[in-house]
Amino acid sequence: MTSAYDTNNIFAKILRGEIPCAKVYEDDDTLAFMDVMPQAPGHLLVIPKAASRNILDADPAVLAKTIAVVQKLAIAAKHAFDAEGVNVAQFNEAAAGQTVFHLHFHVIPRNEHEPMKPHSGTMADGDVLRAHAEKIKAALG
């Protein structure tokens, strides 16, 4: 059984402006910002503005708009960080590794022979995150 959407999850608070973020992109339907515990330089998150716990309960129209932004930002992040590839990850429910129960996609620029760091619980420096956000914004054009 899936639980109800929690309006006090951290991403809902970011959407309401209660918690700051290093914003990369925003439109009427989505928000993208740097992950505060990046697994590689340029690691960002893309979320819908609509209340969706995860892919299992998301409105297909919301999902379609969100994945289009994921693609756009994956291309920009790959270019901005001169990466060889990009990991796109998305987790659904605790058993699958979901820790924030608002639909979100991880976009992580990757280079061969550079292992991803663990999601350690240690937050990255805010200035570094803002600089990485600016690099990706510049790559968006």
Which sequence positions are flagged as catalytic? 104
Pairing state between β 30-34 and 85-89: unpaired
Q: What are phi and psi of 46, to 5 degrees?
A: -120, 125
Q: How far apart are CA 81 and CA 44, in angstroms?
A: 12
Q: Do 109 and 78 touch, CB atoms closer than 8 A?
A: yes
Q: What angle do CA 21, 110, 34 make, to 5 degrees?
A: 0
Residue 76 and residue 141: Cα distance in Å, rounded?
A: 9
